[in-house]
Amino acid sequence: MAVITPNRRVRKTPFTPGVEAAGVGGYTVYNHTLLPTFFESVEADAAHLKQHVQVWDVSCERQVQVKGPDALRLMKMLSPRDMDRMQADQCYYVPIVDHNGGMLNDPVAIKLADDQYWLSVADGDLWQFALGLAIALGLDVEITEPDVSPLAVQGPKADDLMERVFGDQVRDIKFFRYKRLRFEDQEFIVARSGWSKQGGFEIYVEGSEYGMPLWDTLFANGQNLKVRAGCPNNIERVESGLLSFGSDMRRENTPYECGLARFCNSPLDYIGKSALAGQAENGPPRQIRPLVIEGEIGPCTQSWPLLANSTQVGQVASAVYSPEFGVNVAIGMVDRAYWEPGTRIELMTEHGMRWAEVQQSFWR
Ligand code: THG
């Protein structure tokens, strides 16, 4: 493929100069923003991520800010998750659904104050849904996209690096909680979260002008930790079963199909609740499953149908060879009759037919 040309619609980020200087090897576009896909290679990046620490430009995780007297009211309409339990320093993984229970996005919600939330969105213009709802309901709330660019610090040495830049309080941050920590003359939300299972943090960098100074400070402090520029890694995240909205699930799927039932505990009549009642009671007709694919597979750049007796019984939209586990790991959406661990199903890839076997669990 040729290069992607940035412009006003395909946005660079405050960290793009650092990403380019570090030798980014590929980009994708996510929320109209450049997102690196690899530096050395996806394989080498994965191995490094599992041993050391990486700094990721995830500015494409845009924040939809919901602010005003009716902020919580709107959040309760949007969220299948019980927002009344949310603490002031907490982050919530929240599936957002339409009136039919179809997934519209799977953001991380951050509570900044009783009248202020951020939705750190996956790929999709969720702000338009939030704004439409606010207008239709006549809510006293502002929907904006503030100048906030998340920077993730991921890997087993993330605590060591973050301590050097933000102080030893970083060690006390619990999973999906945050602290406000000082950098130069600004305070940033620093949460223990991120799209890997190697541990680490996300810094919500407020003010683009702080982007490169923070990037440079992290690299200056991380030399003897072997810090590198990295990015969400397709091998590590499939091994970990972290879902990608738009690939692994979309509007045709419910949160129950995505295995996100534990995040649907709101007692209120949120949008989509009645449509989801049947699946809440009886379970979904299909669900996300880990799969191993036999033989050689090329890159998975589209959805591959799963077939039984020539009828489609699911699909795979993420698949990659795992050097650590020595197999092709994959994330599939599999019909109930075929989702038991050990079930073997045919898979139609654009590189030929392969056998896929349903696994008991993801790899970490
Ligand atoms: N961090 C932030 N924003 C994001 C992402 C992120 N926006 C886009 C995208 N990623 C949203 N999707 C996810 C998917 C999974 C997780 C977070 C965001 C995740 N899940 C954990 C798991 O499944 O094990 C934990 C969920 C929990 O227990 O609450 O981390 O990565 N800022």
How many domains does the chain contain in total? 3
Q: How many CB atoms lie within 10 A of CB 101?
A: 25
Mutational pocket test of ligand 1: of 242, 249, 258, 331, the residue with most ligand atoms within 8 Å of the beta carbon: 242
The reply to whether 90 and 222 lie within a common domain is no
Predicted confidence at residue 3, as pLDDT, reads 87
Predicted confidence at residue 281, as pLDDT, reads 98
197 domain residue, yes or no = yes
Last residue of a domain, one of 172, 206, 237: 237
Instruction: Return averaged pLDDT per consecutive 10 residues of the chain, 364 residues in all.
Output: 91 98 98 98 99 99 98 98 97 98 98 98 98 98 98 99 98 98 98 98 98 99 98 98 98 98 98 98 98 97 97 98 98 98 97 97 97
The residue type found at 144 is T
- Looking at residue 164, which CATH number applies to its domain? 3.30.1360.120
Last residue of a domain, one of 105, 124, 144: 144
The reply to whether 46 and 67 lie within a common domain is no
The reply to whether 48 and 101 lie within a common domain is no
Predicted confidence at residue 352, as pLDDT, reads 96
Dihedral of alpha carbons 128, 66, 277, 317, sign: positive
Alpha carbon nearest to ligand 1 atom 1, residue: 194
Last residue of a domain, one of 180, 206, 237: 237
Ligand 1 within 6 A of 70 CB? no
Predicted confidence at residue 279, as pLDDT, reads 98
Dihedral of alpha carbons 289, 290, 293, 299, sign: positive
- The span from the CA of 319 to the CA of 182, in Å, is 40
251 domain residue, yes or no = no
Question: How many residues are there in the chain?
Answer: 364
246 domain residue, yes or no = no
Domain hosting 133: range is 63-144
Predicted confidence at residue 146, as pLDDT, reads 98
Predicted confidence at residue 1, as pLDDT, reads 77
Predicted confidence at residue 13, as pLDDT, reads 98
The reply to whether 86 and 22 lie within a common domain is no
- The span from the CA of 312 to the CA of 315, in Å, is 8
